[in-house]
Amino acid sequence: MPQDLIRMTATEAVARLRKREISPLELIDAAEARIAEVEPQVNALPTLCFDRAREHARRLMATRYPPEANEAGWLDGLPVSIKDLNDVAGVRTTYGSPIFRDHVPTRSHPLVERIERKGGIVVAKSNTPEFGAGGSTFNEVFGRTRNPWNLSLTCGGSTGGGAVSVATGEVWLAQGTDHGGSLRRPGTYCSVVGIRPSPGRVTRGAVNNLYSPLSVQGPMARDIPDLALFLDTMAGYCPLDPLTFDAPACSFVAALGRAGPPRRIAYSPDYNGNVLVERETRAICEAAVRRFEDLGCVVEEYAPDLGGVEEAFMILRSQHFVVDRELQLREHRDLIKQDIIWNTEKGLSQSPSQLAWADRERAAFYRRVAEMFERYDVFITPSAGTPAFDVNRTHPETIDGVKLANYMGGSTLNAAMTMASCAAVAVPAGFDQYGRPVGLQIAAPPRQEARALAAAGFLERLTGLDRQLPIDPKPGTVPPG
């Protein structure tokens, strides 16, 4: 019975919860058994809270039809994981940092409160790099999270623990964050789906960077219908986040059911040779994109001019770090990892003219992207320049034979869509010769998450790759190169 339960999609599990064919307590038991089975191999969910989860489930079951049950995204007692960057009341929350090794918050993050109000049951905190900074999930508090497709490889970052938790069937849905690809890269490396919503679609709560559109919160899942369901759970206005706005009148689940395939698709493997992407990754992604032509879609190779957006992203990202980490750097420098120190000090050394140039570059790139969307419904690229790499590295050393300058060097495909405030979905596209997952990034204009989800859903049905999940962790070796 537990194996049958963990193999259900979130959509199927919620439907059975609504019919009272299964109970939240049964799902919690199934999640606990699965976590005990696979966690020693992957280290995705280092902090568990099953007593708290069962208390929440019993309260939920005692109130059979609360008002929230009529809202889009109602989960009715489905277990989920929460990234260890978001507070969960009464549960150890470290942000992946030794500074907060023993931190236990008294109140949950506003998004966690929303998820729990809509019937989500938090059973665990998922592992993350320190303060969510990094393309590989590890920290000094909990260690490394491993890729279930090959335990010698990284799961990506920074929502690596969340991606692994859904890929292995530990939970049905995972909450995460995304700045330069932190939902999209782990989704790709673990062959699951994740969406970076438009800024303001999902509350970020009381972060200090309240007016920056760079970092957002969002969902991960095993398939696109489940992703739409969890985005419905999260979406909506929050008085603690000035960028938020009301949830759409038509839910993402309903929009997904009504949508047709995109008519015109812009596809670029590497922004006209200006972004590093491995040769085999380009070939796999090209073949996947061409599947849309089976649906009658027009697929044309096109990309907006990147201009200076890569450098502009690093400038604005570093300023983001100054807001978040400057004060901590003064007091706890010896407890903060070098990548964060580097990013923060880069921001502290920047001039007002550099910041102004970066904002002008961002605006110019946004206008070029907006012009592209006047001709095309969606814009598709690979979602990572290289498949998963050695779990013991912070980032790939090279892509297509070119050495990377720093740990963000392989993130331009994702960072560009961050800079344009696009809705962007990572969806599996296939596997390379070593069995490593490869994925596509499907982007739509800001606030057009439904359009990106619909296109990803059509591709998912064409490939059937979602039906390979959940998987049992597999041993392996690091491929050459």
Angle subtended by helix axes 352-373 and 309-332, to nearest 10: 130
Here the tokens at position 51 are 């007593």
Q: Distance between alpha carbon 372 and the CA centroid of its chain, in Å?
A: 25
Question: Are 6 and 32 within 8 A, CB to CB?
Answer: no
Determine how many CB atoms are found less than 10 A away from the CB of residue 307: 15
- With CA atoms as reference, report the closest residue to 248 among 261, 231, 264, 263: 231
Residue 31, both tokens: 């999640």
Q: Which listed residue (81, 97, 108, 158) is catalytic?
A: 158
Residues whose CB falls within 8 Å of the CB of residue 106, separated by 6 or more in sequence, listed in order: 89, 90
Q: DSSP letters along 143-189, please?
A: EE-EETTEEEEE--SSSHHHHHHHHTTS-SEEEEEESSSTTHHHHHH
50 within 8 A of 90, measured Cβ to Cβ: no
Q: Which one of 81, 83, 125, 191 is the catalytic residue? A: 83
Are 80 and 123 in contact by the 8 Å Cβ rule? The answer is yes
Selecting among 81, 126, 165, 182, the annotated active-site residue is 182
Q: Say what the alpha-carbon torsion angle 287, 288, 289, 291 is, to the nearest 10 degrees.
A: 90
Residues in the chain: 481
| CA torsion angle 152 153 159 165 (round to 10) | -50
Catalytic site includes residue 182: yes
Tell me, rounded to whole angstroms, the distance of Cα 80 from its chain centroid.
14
Active site residue 158: yes
Point out the residues that are catalytic.
83, 158, 182
